[in-house]
């Protein structure tokens, strides 16, 4: 029987696996919710914001925040950070990528981070809007500022320093710097612990990250991406970077053949968009790789793997254990048998 490592994420469609034999998994879990999972994303007692606070954002704007009672985060990772800081009750709307914790999915939607409308944001009567450099279009955010709403735009590092840096920046902008420092230190310690574990590994697999959205968007991750940071932080070789790819580049059979990955990582929503695991294996070149031939494919929740959130340390720990079985003392949990 083929061997395949799979971790189930929020987006993963179980039907995707019906075409393949059942295979063991090192860390199978149900979709995470605050009730089902302990860890950094569980809300803490709300801190008392020390306001007003004035910050200089990544675009050089000096922004004064006087009220955080109605917060609109512009991306899922920022929403998760605000929730984890204990200010989840103050969030009044989110973009479509805010899927964790589950409570955020019940809030009004403002669209997608890169395709925002000022009207949709202002309709929520926000007292502060907070997002990252890729939020836009710029004209929409200028309209929000012109309406008198503070807009704070943060940097988005593509490294494992990102979770702590974003947590501190969000917390400072919302007047809860002390809570942010505590959370940032905790998350950084989890990341450091995972990297220390990875340093003990005797294996060094070649790992390729594929970002797919049906047939229209199929990309390979290379150097300078979050996926490369996660793979290398887990003590593996990022196959895209190693073959000279920079950023995300379109999938070609030649690029996949050159990468020769031992393991492929793909977001759960990407598997779903292809109609299942068989659709992934039909991407030219994938089935012919060592990973495709031996079924070594890891499927992770998009936000958890790529978001650089308070859960990143735990995600990295799981990745280390999945890529380096020699480090795992416990007997792997087998996935259910399927026909």
| pLDDT score for 28 | 28
| pLDDT score for 24 | 30
CATH number at residue 322: 3.40.50.1980
Which residue would you say has higher pLDDT here, 41 or 274? 274
> Percent of the chain at pLDDT above 90?
79
Q: How confident is the model at residue 214 (pLDDT cuts 50, 70, 90)?
A: confident
Q: Please determine, for residue 189, whether its predicted confidence score (pLDDT) is greater than 80.
A: yes
Answer yes or no: do 71 and 160 share one domain: yes
Q: Which residue has the tokens 């295979």?
A: 23
The model's pLDDT over 27-49, given as tens digits with 9 standing for 90+, comes to 322 233 333 344 444 556 789 99
Instruction: Tell whether 5 is covered by a domain.
Output: no
The model's pLDDT over 108-139, given as tens digits with 9 standing for 90+, comes to 999 999 999 999 999 999 999 999 999 999 99
Answer yes or no: do 244 and 213 share one domain: yes
- The residue among 178, 190, 149 whose CA lies nearest residue 308 is 190
Its domain, for residue 233, covers 14-32+202-334
Say if residues 129 and 121 touch (Cβ distance below 8 Å).
yes
* Count of beta carbons in the 10 Å neighbourhood of residue 339: 6
The count of structural domains within the chain is 2
* Count of beta carbons in the 10 Å neighbourhood of residue 17: 22
| pLDDT score for 216 | 86
The pLDDT of 271-278, averaged and rounded, is: 90
Instruction: Tell whether 184 is covered by a domain.
Output: no
Instruction: Tell whether 60 is covered by a domain.
Output: yes
């Amino acid at each position: 029987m083929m061997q395949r490592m799979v971790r189930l994420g929020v987006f993963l469609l179980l039907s995707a696996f019906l075409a393949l034999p059942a295979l063991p998994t090192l860390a199978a879990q149900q979709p995470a919710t605050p009730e089902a999972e302990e860890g950094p994303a569980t809300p803490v007692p709300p801190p008392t914001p020390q306001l007003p606070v004035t910050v200089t954002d990544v675009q050089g704007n000096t922004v004064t925040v006087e009220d955080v009672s109605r917060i609109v985060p512009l991306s899922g990772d920022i929403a998760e950070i605000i929730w984890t800081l204990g200010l989840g009750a103050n969030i009044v709307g989110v973009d479509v990528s805010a899927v964790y914790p589950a409570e955020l999915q019940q809030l009004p939607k403002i669209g997608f981070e890169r395709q925002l409308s000022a009207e949709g944001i202002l309709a929520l009567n926000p007292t502060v809007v907070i997002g990252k450099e890729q939020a836009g279009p710029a004209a929409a955010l200028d309209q929000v500022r012109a309406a008198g709403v503070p807009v704070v735009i943060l940097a988005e590092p593509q490294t494992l320093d990102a979770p702590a840096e974003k947590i501190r920046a969000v917390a400072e902008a919302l007047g809860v710097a002390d809570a942010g420092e505590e959370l940032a230190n905790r998350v950084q310690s989890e990341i450091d612990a995972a990297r220390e574990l990875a340093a003990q590994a005797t294996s060094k697999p070649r790992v390729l990250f594929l970002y797919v959205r049906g047939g229209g968007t199929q990309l390979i991750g290379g150097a300078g991406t979050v996926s490369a940071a996660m793979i290398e932080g887990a003590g593996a070789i990022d196959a895209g970077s190693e073959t000279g790819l920079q950023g995300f580049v379109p999938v070609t059979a030649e690029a996949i053949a050159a990468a020769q990955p031992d393991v492929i990582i793909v977001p759960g929503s990407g598997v779903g968009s292809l109609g299942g695991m068989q659709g992934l294996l039909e991407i030219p070149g994938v089935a012919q790789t060592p990973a495709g031939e031996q079924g070594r494919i890891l499927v992770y929740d998009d936000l958890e793997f790529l978001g650089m959130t308070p859960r990143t340390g735990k995600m990295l720990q799981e990745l280390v254990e999945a890529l380096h079985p020699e480090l795992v003392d416990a007997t792997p949990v087998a996935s259910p048998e399927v026909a």
